[in-house]
């Protein structure tokens, strides 16, 4: 029986600890001893090691036998895999955004301490930032995998119902938005934000700036200089046009060729305006002179000035990129709608 015992032990090593290893081992041992006895009877002689060996050989390798007792031989099984992917996406998204923000802040503070834009030190920070994103991403991947391995192992036979499945209604497919429809939610959001922007720019510029208190005096430095004020009528025009088009779209929530073209014009004009603004020097009210009156020391003022400029440039570049994308989307939408109308 020695070999049988060793064999059973070997099988046991490959069995999950929690889910009945001892029980399986016991049953296996009992079965094998029965089988051995039978062999001995058939052979007409008492069981010996050779017989044991033959029996165990016929029974199969310990790993194979252990495997038959394992109903879910997966690291991350098919039941949890959809969740796994979903969580991975969320985690990665968060990491990329979070670390990017941190890196950008580092870059900005570097600039304020006199490091030149695109200098070796600057680039080093960028590369380090990218490196951090990658390494944190890999570590996070590992944590998520470990978590899901535990779930897979310790929650053996639960059924995971992906909630969406229950609520998914094929009728929703029948209502598939045709390419010409517009989301009312998006429209309303756009209208509200454009309104707010309009109001702030025209009536509440006081909040766009910085206040300082020094002793009993207070200073206010506006964000935008007088140069900028020249652009305001144009910006107003664009905002108003955008609001008008959006309100018109709200009525039917459907694009027409006219509205598509109007949108394209607005986006194009926004793009031009953004480019003009970024190319205008002295757009910001935060200048070296205006800061001279503030409690900042000249060096700090200088740094502040640089940070403000760079932040503003970055913001404008982001705006330009976004508007360009919207413009391209609008043009593509127009082309597609014209094509589909022609082919009808």
Partner 1 sequence: MTNTEPVENVVLELRRGVIVLAALSQLSVEQYGYSLLKKLSEQGLEVDQGTLYPLLRRLEAQGLLESVWKLEEARPRRYYVISAEGKKILPKLKKEWADIVSVMKKFLA
Q: How far is the CB of 30 from partner 1 (least distance, A)?
A: 5
Among 25, 40, 59, 149, binds partner 1 (CB under 8 A): 59
Per CB under 8 A, does 57 bind partner 1?
no
Six-digit token pair at 178? 């045709």
H/E run at residue 17: none
Per CB under 8 A, does 27 bind partner 1?
yes
Contact 121, 110 (CB under 8 A): yes
Residues forming beta bridges with residue 209, ordered by sequence position: 222
Six-digit token pair at 292? 């001279």
Q: Which stretch binds partner 1 (CB under 8 A): 60-68, 87-95, 171-179, 268-276?
A: 60-68
Per CB under 8 A, does 40 bind partner 1?
no
**Per-position DSSP letters for 188-257, written without gaps between them:** HHHHHHHHHHHHHHHH-GGGSEEEEEETTEEEEEESB-HHHHTTHHHHHHHHHHHHHHHHHHHHH-B--H
Q: How far is the CB of 31 from partner 1 (least distance, A)?
A: 5
Contact 305, 288 (CB under 8 A): yes
Per CB under 8 A, does 22 bind partner 1?
no
- Judged by CB under 8 A, how many residues of this single chain contact partner 1? 19
H/E run at residue 77: none
Among 18, 46, 157, 216, binds partner 1 (CB under 8 A): 157
Per CB under 8 A, does 36 bind partner 1?
no
Contact 330, 260 (CB under 8 A): yes
Q: Which stretch binds partner 1 (CB under 8 A): 31-39, 137-145, 248-256, 322-330?
A: 31-39
Q: How far is the CB of 59 from partner 1 (least distance, A)?
A: 7
Q: How far is the CB of 148 from partner 1 (least distance, A)?
A: 23
Q: How far is the CB of 35 from partner 1 (least distance, A)?
A: 7
Among 3, 25, 35, 337, binds partner 1 (CB under 8 A): 35
**Chain residues 2-21 in contact with partner 1, contact rule CB under 8 A:** 20
Contact 37, 45 (CB under 8 A): no
Contacts of 162 (CB under 8 A, 6+ apart): 82, 83
123: left (phi over 0), alpha (psi -120 to 50) or beta: alpha
Q: Which stretch binds partner 1 (CB under 8 A): 59-67, 128-136, 190-198, 321-329?
A: 59-67
Per CB under 8 A, does 34 bind partner 1?
yes
Q: Which stretch binds partner 1 (CB under 8 A): 25-33, 110-118, 214-222, 332-340?
A: 25-33
**Chain residues 62-121 in contact with partner 1, contact rule CB under 8 A:** 64-65, 68-69, 71
Q: What three-state secondary structure class fits 343?
A: coil
Residues forming beta bridges with residue 219, ordered by sequence position: 212
Per CB under 8 A, does 30 bind partner 1?
yes
Contacts of 181 (CB under 8 A, 6+ apart): 253, 254, 255
Q: At which residue do the structure tokens 């064999």 appear?
A: 7
Among 5, 6, 17, 31, binds partner 1 (CB under 8 A): 31
Chain residues binding partner 1 by CB under 8 A are 20, 23-24, 26-28, 30-31, 33-35, 59-60, 64-65, 68-69, 71, 157
């Amino acid at each position: 029986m020695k070999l049988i015992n060793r064999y059973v032990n070997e099988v046991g090593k490959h069995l999950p600890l929690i889910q009945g290893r001892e029980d399986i081992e016991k049953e296996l041992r009992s079965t094998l001893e029965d089988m051995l006895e039978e062999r001995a009877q058939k052979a007409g002689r008492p069981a010996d090691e050779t017989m044991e060996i033959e029996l165990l050989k016929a029974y199969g390798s310990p790993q194979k036998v252990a495997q038959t007792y394992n109903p879910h031989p997966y690291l991350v099984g098919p039941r949890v895999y959809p969740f796994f992917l979903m969580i991975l996406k969320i985690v990665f998204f968060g990491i990329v955004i979070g670390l990017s923000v941190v890196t950008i802040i580092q870059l900005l503070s570097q600039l304020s301490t006199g490091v030149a834009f695109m200098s070796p030190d600057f680039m080093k920070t960028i590369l380090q930032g990218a490196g951090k994103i990658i390494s944190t991403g890999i570590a996070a991947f590992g944590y998520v995998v470990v978590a899901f391995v535990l779930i897979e192992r310790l929650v053996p036979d639960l059924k995971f119902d992906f909630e969406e499945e229950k609520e998914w209604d094929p009728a929703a497919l029948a209502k598939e938005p045709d390419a010409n429809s517009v989301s009312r939610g998006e429209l309303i959001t756009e209208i509200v934000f454009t309104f707010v922007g309009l109001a702030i720019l025209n009536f509440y510029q006081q909040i766009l700036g910085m206040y300082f208190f020094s002793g009993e005096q207070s200073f206010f430095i506006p964000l935008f200089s007088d140069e900028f004020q020249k652009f305001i009528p144009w910006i107003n025009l664009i905002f108003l046009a955008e609001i008008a088009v959006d309100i018109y779209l709200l009525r039917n929530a459907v694009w027409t060729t006219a509205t598509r073209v109007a949108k394209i014009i607005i986006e194009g004009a926004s793009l031009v305006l953004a480019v003009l603004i970024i190319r205008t020097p002295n757009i910001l009210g935060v200048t070296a002179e205006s800061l001279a009156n503030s409690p900042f020391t000249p060096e700090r003022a200088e740094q502040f000035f640089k940070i403000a400029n760079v932040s503003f440039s970055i913001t404008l570049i982001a705006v330009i990129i976004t508007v360009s994308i919207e413009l391209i989307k609008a043009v593509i939408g127009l082309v597609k709608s014209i094509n589909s109308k022609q082919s009808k």
